[in-house]
Chain A
Amino acid sequence: MAPSQARRILLFSLSFFFLFTDGLRPAEEKLLTIYSPGKVFSVQVTERGRTEYVDLIAVLDPLGKLDVKQDGRKWKLRFDDNECQFQEGKKKAKVRGHDFTLPQPFSSEQGRVLLPLPLLPSFLQSLLRQPLRFHAAGRRLFVGTAINPFGAQFINTTPPTLVFNFTQAVSPAIANEPGKMEIVFHRDPIVATGPDVLTFKDNTITSAAYEERNGGAKITIHATAPLLATFSNEGKTLTVMPAPAVAATTKPPAVPPVATPAPPTTPVLAGGGTPAAARAGQHRFLVVIDPSHGGDERGAALTGTLAEKDLTLALGRIVRQELQARGIEVLMLRDADTTLTTDQRAILANTNRAALYVCLHMGSVGKGVRLYTSLVPAESGSTRGDFIPWNTAQSGFLNSSRQVASSLAGEMQARQIEVRVLAASLPPLNHVAAPAIGVEVAPRGTNDVKDLTSPTYQQAVAAALAVGVVSARNRLEPAR
């Protein structure tokens, strides 16, 4: 066989192989997402020939009261006292007594009433008598007032900041890849009010693009550095900026990795594939302050109106101020009423290579301040390898945690604040690969929970914590 012939056969086989394996890949399920006030759902889109169809029953059922009757070739759909009729093989249908013409004869399939997707908005318009907006390219249908317009604003400061202002609170999934951050909205009816692609004259954040696809929306931000995304304004504002300390050394620290479950779907901190602190120096002393609870999770109901989540946030802000005043770098895990799971909190503390993790709680039982270390059994120290199990990540740091607790307790006592040091099975202490402390503040001498809102008391506790951290720092840094 001639070499050129052999090459041709090889090329043909390879192209056949790639063609074949591509064909093996499962096709992405086509979806239509319907946003209506108080309800968001997706229905499957079926393709027949070159036309896309949706099952009318699947569309109408979640939107109101639906009654379906089949009589031979006739279908009667009664939706909230409005009736529509279809007949197999006929193009003419009736909607609320009026004629409605289909482009092709009506057909059902396995109990599904198939309607061409392009016809759905006009059909629903006549049935629901509500304003509708259909984004055909992204297969997104907005019913009535279920729409969340947003605008983007680039602030060319140092560091550069990209701010997204939404009309209603959003809960996207945020993913990071080297060079870009993807913010995916599966359930939010967001609609861009400006151009879909924005380019910025900036070396760090270069562009942002809005895209609607397969029943969802996505914002992609291209950047040359890891990005940090934070929510504020009760989830209505999303601020994206370069992660702190990006400009510092790029040498990763020699801290062993921590085996973690799936990363948070709505992280507050983004690291662009590499933890921000990993790019910073090994000797950065970062204190992670975690105001516990937040968002959907209220924590303890201290009174009918006083929720633990609000007080932990207030105390967290004072502690941050006190630490920063003493030259300590601080990362607050939430600075608004946002929901974070305990796993997400631990992941954020670990990926930022916290020197110390402090979670704040408020309680009505007992008096004074309780300082908690993890209930996980301590390890001898020599057993710490390259891989730290998620459930016992704290084991190797427990002695340091106890030292910090002791230092903090000393400061509390110096300020006449009653204090106890205990162990507790308090999430996420077990999962933090750094010295970790839980702080629970109870009323001083009385059982009056209003004492917890006292600025004097909060300030005294925050100052004691900050001074205790500063004195513990000298002991912690050699160990790091």
Chain B
Amino acid sequence: MIPRTLKVAVVVMVTAVIVMAFYLRTLKRRTESIQEHPADLRPVAAPVIGRPERVALIVAADDTGTLHREDVDIVLPAEHSEREREILRALVARYEQQDSPHPLPGGADVKDVYLVNDTTAVIDVNSVFAEAHRSGVLVEELTITSMIQTLVTSLPSITRVKFLVDGSERETLAGHADLSGFYDVSAVTALASEFQAGANP
């Protein structure tokens, strides 16, 4: 006959195995979830102290295929390129909100804005921005146009804008919008007017 103590020990061990298996499964799911949704490592606020400033964001709306202006108050650094980066980050953050009219993938970010000279700017976005961007002519053009228009609204001397992804050149944003060359701001402004005009010509 099997001793009672042995029976109890076996039951306890089997229970422990089941509990451990359940716990391992939970841990595995948690890890997978973290891998799918990488942590947003951007600072929650601009690392500066000062009074908030009112800036204009040119925001795209997918439903109507239009652009509109939204004013927001954010604290901005004094240095020019950091200032423009924070403004563009505010735009990207707007697109990542729950009620975004033009959703961008979570984790999309503007890494840097380089002001090459008074007229030329380079916007460097992270790889999530491009890799997870929705693909389509209109949706990509809206992103590009809203970013350039937001930049030139803040810094009107800029006439040429180039996009980089993780510091490297890329052919297109998500298969449609050309990122290989410089954008001529006057042409983009004309396109923005077409977008703002709304529906049919």
Residues of A participating in the B interface, judged by any CB pair closer than 8 Å: 293, 297, 299-301, 308, 342, 361, 363-366, 370, 372, 375-377, 391, 406, 409, 413, 418-427, 430, 438, 440, 442
Contact = CB atoms under 8 A, between A and B. Distances in A.
B177 A422 contact: no
B186 interface: yes
A377 B185 CA distance: 10
B134 A365 contact: yes
B31 interface: no
B175 interface: yes
Nearest to B139: A365
14 contacts: A299-B135, A300-B134, A300-B175, A301-B135, A361-B136, A363-B136, A363-B137, A365-B134, A406-B201, A422-B195, A424-B191, A426-B177, A427-B178, A427-B180
A440 B177 contact: no
Nearest to B136: A363
Contacts of A301: 135
Contact of B138 (A363, A406, A409, A418): A363
A438 B136 CA distance: 12
A138 to B, nearest CB: 36
B187 A377 contact: yes
A421 B191 CA distance: 10
Contacts of B141: 422, 424-426
B184 interface: yes
Nearest to B176: A426
B106 to A, nearest CB: 18
Interface string B169-201: 001101111101101101110110011000111
Given A361-B136, A363-B137, A425 B178 contact: yes
Contacts of B134: 300, 365
B200 A375 contact: no
Given A366-B62, A425-B141, A440-B137, A420 B186 contact: no
A376 B182 CA distance: 11
A420 B136 contact: no
Nearest to A440: B137
A365 B138 contact: yes
Contact of A421 (B65, B172, B175, B201): B201
Contact of A370 (B135, B137, B177): B137
A447 to B, nearest CB: 9
B36 interface: no
Contacts of A419: 200
Contacts of B195: 422
State the 10 A-B residue pairs at the shortest beta-carbon distance, nearest first. Answer: A300-B135, A363-B136, A425-B178, A440-B137, A365-B139, A366-B65, A423-B191, A365-B62, A421-B201, A427-B178
A300 B171 contact: no
A8 B187 CA distance: 71
Contacts of A421: 201
B137 to A, nearest CB: 4
A56 to B, nearest CB: 38
Contacts, number: 92
Interface of B: 62-65, 134-139, 141, 144, 171-172, 174-178, 180-181, 183-184, 186-188, 190-191, 194-195, 199-201
A391 B178 CA distance: 12
A440 B138 CA distance: 8
A362 to B, nearest CB: 8
Nearest to B181: A391
Contacts of B181: 391
Given A300-B136, A366-B138, A421-B201, 14 more contacts: A342-B171, A363-B139, A365-B136, A365-B139, A366-B64, A377-B184, A377-B187, A409-B200, A423-B187, A424-B177, A425-B183, A426-B141, A427-B171, A440-B137
Contacts of A422: 138, 141, 191, 194-195
Contacts of A424: 137, 141, 176-177, 191
Nearest to A447: B63
B194 to A, nearest CB: 5
A293 to B, nearest CB: 7
B131 to A, nearest CB: 13
A236 to B, nearest CB: 26
A370 B195 CA distance: 12
A438 B175 CA distance: 14
Nearest to A438: B137
A427 B141 CA distance: 12
B163 to A, nearest CB: 10
Contacts of A299: 135, 175
Contacts of B64: 366
B61 to A, nearest CB: 10
A198 B64 CA distance: 61
B23 to A, nearest CB: 32
B135 A377 contact: no
Given A361-B176, A423-B194, A413 B137 contact: no
A389 to B, nearest CB: 12
Given A299-B175, A421-B201, A423-B194, A376 B187 contact: yes
A363 B187 CA distance: 23
Contacts of B172: 427
Nearest to B180: A427
A274 B186 CA distance: 39
Given A366-B63, A422-B141, A426-B178, A375 B201 contact: no
